[in-house]
Structure 1
Amino acid sequence: MKKVIYALILPMVVVSGIVFANRESKKETSYKPSPKPLSTTSSKTDSEETKKWKASLYGGIFKEWEISFERERLLATADKIRKNLTAFTNMEAVVTSLSIPSRTNADASTIQGVLVSINGQAYIVQFDPGDIQQLQSLRVNDKIIIKSSSAQYLRNYLHLVLSANYVERNHKVIVKRDFSKVGC
């Protein structure tokens, strides 16, 4: 009886080994990249569009900003908090102003937020429109804990803008963004 069972199992093992080996070789061949580029016209079109954009007004403004001292200053301030942004960790901040300095007075009402100091550097903390009531409870020299996942440079503002994903003052949560409701 044992010989009959071994005789039946042995061919099944051999056949299944062949099937799995054949399956693996098909997977390997399907993932090989093509040796030639897919389209030669797309790279030419992209470079032509890029050239047109660089020749436009916005391209010129970007070129000026790219070589400016202000860009270097903003990149340096972003580097100081990059680890905290990527790890979404606490940053201790002090509220220095309840109004946001902008290049022109017309832009002052575009962002709802406060100016804070983190490790001696000034940043703008931007609040969502639904968090405005919590924003009104903040005062100058309040010490707050901020967690943010992103920072951006807006051309009309002097400082880097942080999104307020989590803000805490005196161990009380002021703002806590619910990421489960945020969609793509």
Structure 2
Amino acid sequence: MKKNIYALVLPLVVISGLVFANRDIKDEASKKSTSKPLSAAEGKSALKKWEATPDGIKFKKWEASPEGKKVYAGEAKIRKHISAFTNMEAVVTSLSLPPGSRLGFGVMVRINGDDYILSFGPEKSNEFQQLHSLNVNDKIIIRSHTVSHAPKYSYPIVTGDYVERDSKLIYKRAPRQGGC
């Protein structure tokens, strides 16, 4: 009888030991794969390395070009509105984005005499249904948290977070779920 109990308990102990040992190995691997943020010096070093790559050189040339300077000047003109999330008056100039654009759904707008891409992101179901009712020369009010740029585009890219036409809300970005 004792031999049978030992025969059953011994494999159970061995298997339990293997399971716990394997878990410790996985925990160590996950701790090692978590990288800490770069220090300021490491960040500058990584930026210098990237600037030496062909893509970095191409980007620096674009920044120094008249087109790049125009994009940065356009961003600077609306930076206060972006930072404060205040209203910007805009006129829709085109219902389509520049050819070859991969920004998802968006329109071209003119704010204070400069052209901008007003991007809303990938089109999902009926999220942008009311935005499809926009027409060229419609006057709209925009609020945004973000303005960006890319060498591929000759215009600053404004992310549309809030749009109203004729004092009626036609789009408001839903808050992110599960994030900070």
Does the 8 A contact of 1:113 with 1:135 survive in 2? no
CA change 1:52–1:109 in 2 (3 A) is closer
CA change 1:45–1:109 in 2 (3 A) is closer
Identity of matched residues, %: 46
Q: CA deviation at 1:125?
A: 0.6
Match of 2:78 among 53, 78, 81: 81
TM-score (ref. length: structure 1): 0.66
What is the one-letter code of the residue matched to 2:55?
Y
CA distance in 1, matches of 2:176, 2:53: 40
Residue number in structure 2 paired with 1:151: 147
Does the 8 A contact of 1:94 with 1:117 survive in 2? yes
What is the one-letter code of the residue matched to 1:112?
F
Residue number in structure 2 paired with 1:117: 110
Q: CA deviation at 1:79?
A: 1.3
Pairing 1:98–2:95 present: yes
Q: CA deviation at 1:181?
A: 3.2
TM-score (ref. length: structure 2): 0.68
CA change 1:180–1:53 in 2 (3 A) is closer
SS at match of 1:132: coil
Pairing 1:174–2:167 present: no
CA change 1:182–1:174 in 2 (3 A) is farther
CA distance in 1, matches of 2:43, 2:111: 44
The Cα offsets for residues 110-134 of structure 1, whole Å up to 9 and x where unpaired, read as 4310001111111111113243322
The Cα offsets for residues 10-45 of structure 1, whole Å up to 9 and x where unpaired, read as xxxxxxxxxxxxxxxxxxxxxxxxxxxxxxxx9589
Residue number in structure 1 paired with 2:136: 140
Q: CA deviation at 1:74?
A: 1.2
CA change 1:172–1:123 in 2 (3 A) is same
CA distance in 1, matches of 2:141, 2:42: 49
Consecutive unaligned residues of structure 2, counting only runs of 5 or more, are 1-39
CA RMSD, aligned part only? Answer: 2.3
Task: Count the aligned residue pairs.
Answer: 138
Q: CA deviation at 1:109?
A: 4.8
Equivalent runs, 1:8-27 vs 2, <5 Å = none
Stretches of 4+ aligned residues off by more than 4 angstroms: 42-46
Consecutive unaligned residues of structure 1, counting only runs of 5 or more, are 1-41
What is the one-letter code of the residue matched to 2:101?
A
CA change 1:179–1:54 in 2 (3 A) is same
SS at match of 2:81: helix
SS at match of 1:100: coil
CA distance in 1, matches of 2:44, 2:79: 31
